[in-house]
Amino acid sequence: MYLPAFQQVAEDFHTTVAQVSLTLSSYFIGLSVGQLFYGPLLDRFGRKKPLYGGLILYIVTTLACLMSH
């Protein structure tokens, strides 16, 4: 990840290294919580439908972020 750059990121955003480390922690927490929902979806619908649903959600949210500026 970006662990070696924590100090530089903290300086660039005028924050502390502890607050920058929270971004990495929140990423892994979100990843682990997402698996709790994704696993049963795969069991119920197979692999393709949840994969395509996640891809569509990713594209829609990426376009929303693009249009926010």
The more confident residue out of 2 and 63 is 63
Q: Dump the DSSP string for the chain.
A: --GGGHHHHHHHTT--HHHHHHHHHHHHHHHHHHHHHHHHHHHHH-SHHHHHHHHHHHHHHHHHHHHT-
> Is pLDDT of 9 > 90?
yes
Contact 50, 42 (CB under 8 A): yes
Give me the pLDDT at residue 2, please.
81
Q: Per the structure, how many domains does the chain have?
A: 1
What pLDDT, in 10s, does the model give residues 45-55?
Answer: 999 999 999 99
Mean pLDDT of 27-54: 92
Which residue, 33, 23, 16, is CA-closest to 1? Answer: 23
Q: Residue 42: which domain range?
A: 3-67
